[in-house]
């Protein structure tokens, strides 16, 4: 990989996983800290033939309520000023401080087919060196052109991750994104009825990929408008249908922890580069909890 591409992957990884120093104090020992009524078990699955969408890379405008304006910016700790661009089209997240960058939080998508089954058990309440949280998740889906099939199996909760609180790997009914410091601030602040951060095995056309993947999943309030544009904080619709998000940043898991590594999607973008991340949205879900 050339250095420019490496930098792009690193930046994307930071944007997708980022929390910040804001909640660094939340990292404390998880030993013995449990959620009330543990174990709290929740199951979700997609309906047969349901609507599944592949999010394509695209620019993401910055929400004034979170980031302010170019004239009076807010929350530099969430997104430094050199990662923002004041362009004729508006205020955008940027790789170079001048032009809008391609992100996984765009309004561009393609219909695909797929299914998801998720079962989580929330026991441990906060991140730490070990966890009693459990994940059994299985996702199957295709590329937008239908030529590539993917399967992702997640069986292990990550007890803690760099940068932000993760509730011991599984969180139920947790507020995140926006300015919360939990997850990327490029997603609006939302209620996640299920959230997990786990280690996944990715199969591409039936072949197990060499690296364990960093996986984030959420079942959340509806964050898309009638045109399927990703909304800002004030557009999140608690009355809308819930949505499930499967997110694989360009981050793999090694024995020393997470490291920058593009997801081997094999899916070529118009710029001839392979898409280095996955953001899959499942629209038709049923929940048991």
- Window 195-224: residues binding Cu ion (CB under 5 A): 218
CB of 218 to Cu ion, least distance (A): 4
Contact range with Cu ion by CB under 5 A, out of 41-49, 136-144, 178-186, 265-273:
178-186
Contact range with Cu ion by CB under 5 A, out of 67-75, 92-100, 177-185, 277-285:
177-185
Judged by beta carbon, residue 183 or residue 262, the one nearer Cu ion is 183
Residue with tokens 């879900």, as numbered in its chain: 285
Distance CA 119, CA 287 (A): 10
Residue with tokens 């609180």, as numbered in its chain: 165
Distance CA 163, CA 149 (A): 32
183 binds Cu ion, rule: CB under 5 A: yes
CB of 170 to Cu ion, least distance (A): 12
Binding mask 237-276 for Cu ion (x = CB under 5 A): ----------------------------------------
Distance CA 141, CA 139 (A): 7
Judged by beta carbon, residue 243 or residue 275, the one nearer Cu ion is 243
Residue with tokens 């394509």, as numbered in its chain: 56
Judged by beta carbon, residue 143 or residue 217, the one nearer Cu ion is 217
Neighbours of 220 (CB within 10 A): 22
Q: Is 16 left (phi over 0), alpha (psi -120 to 50) or beta?
A: alpha
**Closest to 224 measured CA to CA, from 192, 181, 187:** 187
CB of 217 to Cu ion, least distance (A): 8
- Tell me the HSE value of 184 on the side-chain side, using a 13 A CA sphere: 22
Judged by beta carbon, residue 183 or residue 258, the one nearer Cu ion is 183
19 binds Cu ion, rule: CB under 5 A: no
End-to-end CA distance of the chain: 44
CB of 116 to Cu ion, least distance (A): 15
CB of 72 to Cu ion, least distance (A): 28
Distance CA 227, CA 244 (A): 18
Judged by beta carbon, residue 123 or residue 218, the one nearer Cu ion is 218
Distance CA 185, CA 17 (A): 10
Distance CA 83, CA 201 (A): 32
Structure tokens of 63? 């929400």
Contact range with Cu ion by CB under 5 A, out of 98-106, 129-137, 164-172, 183-191:
183-191
Binding mask 111-130 for Cu ion (x = CB under 5 A): --------------------
Give Rg (Cα) of the chain.
18
> Which residue number places its CB atom closest to Cu ion?
183
Binding mask 21-50 for Cu ion (x = CB under 5 A): ------------------------------
Binding mask 137-176 for Cu ion (x = CB under 5 A): ----------------------------------------
Total number of residues binding Cu ion (CB under 5 A)?
A: 2
CB of 174 to Cu ion, least distance (A): 9
Distance CA 195, CA 157 (A): 11
Distance CA 266, CA 44 (A): 28
Q: Which residues bind Cu ion (CB under 5 A)?
A: 183, 218
């Amino acid at each position: 990989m050339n250095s420019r591409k490496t930098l792009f992957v690193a930046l994307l990884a930071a944007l997708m996983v980022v929390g910040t120093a804001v909640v660094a104090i939340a990292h404390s020992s998880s030993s013995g800290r449990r959620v009330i009524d543990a174990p709290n078990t929740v199951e979700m699955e997609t309906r047969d033939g349901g609507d599944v969408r592949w999010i394509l890379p695209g620019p993401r405008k910055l929400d004034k309520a979170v980031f302010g304006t170019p004239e009076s910016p807010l929350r530099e700790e969430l997104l430094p000023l050199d990662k923002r661009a004041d362009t004729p089209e508006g205020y955008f997240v940027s790789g170079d401080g001048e032009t809008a960058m391609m992100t996984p939080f765009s309004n561009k998508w393609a219909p695909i087919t797929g299914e998801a089954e998720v079962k989580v058990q929330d026991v441990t309440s906060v991140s730490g060196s070990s966890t009693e949280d459990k994940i059994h998740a299985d996702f199957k889906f295709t590329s937008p052109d239908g030529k590539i099939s993917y399967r992702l199996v997640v069986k292990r909760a990550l007890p803690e991750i760099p940068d932000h609180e993760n509730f011991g790997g599984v969180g139920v009914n947790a507020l995140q994104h926006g300015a919360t410091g939990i997850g990327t601030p490029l997603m609006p602040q939302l209620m996640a009825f299920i959230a997990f951060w786990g280690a996944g095995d990715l199969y591409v056309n039936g072949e197990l990929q060499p690296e364990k993947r960093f996986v984030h999943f959420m079942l959340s309030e509806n964050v898309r408008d009638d045109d399927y544009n990703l909304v800002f904080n004030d557009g999140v619709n608690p009355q809308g249908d819930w949505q499930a998000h499967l997110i694989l940043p360009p981050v793999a898991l090694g024995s020393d922890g997470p490291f920058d590594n593009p997801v081997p999607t094999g899916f070529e973008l118009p710029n001839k580069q392979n898409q280095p991340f996955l953001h899959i949205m499942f629209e038709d879900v049923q929940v048991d909890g």
